[in-house]
Structure 1
Amino acid sequence: MEFEIILKLITGVGAIFGIALTLSHLFAQKSTGKLKKYEIFKEIKELIEINEPLNYSTACVALGCLVKRELSLLEIKWFINTPNAFKYLYSFSQQGQYIKISNDGKSFVFKEKYVSWKSRLFEATKLFSLYSLLAFVGIYTAIFGLLHSDMKSDLIFLCTIGLGLVLFGLFFLNQLVILSSTKHLLKQKFSNEDFSVNLQENIETFTECSQSS
């Protein structure tokens, strides 16, 4: 009896120790991730301050460690110089198909194609319809293979096709989730008085180059 109680106590202590160790590992990973982001942020800031055009490609490579989307030089400068903007870089890279930085640099706004609620509703309906159609056909194909395929090769083929269609459908579902999550990013407000000036200067420079050519 006493041995069972001791065994339970040892097991309980071991479980608590395991949970504590796991949590400690997770917190350590989170801290390491934050440190990595800070180091990349500092590196990009230094590159842009030294020489913007010359170091742009190197800054894009550094940003590639954090996000998949390639940003313009003006966007990189905005995320570097605008307080609290860098922490929304990953979300912006995910939602870049639908949103952009506003002209005054104080918020995110929808791109022209998605400004109206009708266009966003149409996009959401299209994405949900594609997901539903592909998921339904995929599941139906897999079930049909399980019920009616006599040969193992046919069963594997139909189940593979069905699974592939379902996974492809999940891609459109993920796009729908990304579109819906833009609401949170659009609520964020920033303070950047220099961005609108820089934007206007870039537009004027581009206009002058076009006229001279």
Structure 2
Amino acid sequence: MTPLAPSLSIRDEERRQRAGHGGAVVWITGLSGAGKTTLADALQRTLFDLGCQVFALDGDKVRNGLCADLGFSLPERAENIRRIGEVAHLFCQAGQIVIVSAISPMRADRARVRALVPAPQFIEVYCRCPLAVCEARDPKGLYRRARAGQLAEFTGISSPYEAPEAAEVVVDSAAASVDDGVGKVLARLRQMKIIKAAQYQGE
């Protein structure tokens, strides 16, 4: 009797055992200058040093590549977020922790990404920072250009930003340190059993 061939599919539990953790999408949203990329980079480094399989998807970099054909109207912003969400979902299915830092201004667009990823693997992180503080930082000079009328449809100035109403993690980036923000996200990953307690010694 011919033995049955082993299954060629790879189960989620096999990926978890190989990586030592579950897959997840950590979606960081907030105004330009709120500190999203800084938080994402620090979180990625911390998780990497803990032995996690992790990758950060920066909204600006994706804009320059995968979404270079899109503008900044609300429909084009929605398509931009849809594409980033699909890529993040694939990373998550592969057992990686993917960190997305993107303004993603509209709640409906973020909700569509959340619907792709099974709970509790989607963690929305709101990088909360007053517009005045973001303008004062203005690392790329974008607010100055927007105020001068040189940038159309700029979030927070001439285009809306809808803050999360029930984000899993809220980081007050105007007052809290980057380490505080990283600690909050790690605590959530631990609480949701995506990473093991032994991988986080923040308490």
Same fold (TM over 0.5): no
Q: Which has the larger Rg?
A: 1
Question: Could you say which TM-score interval applies, normalised by the shorter chain?
Answer: under 0.3
Taking structure 1 as the reference length, the TM-score comes to 0.25
Higher share in strand: 2
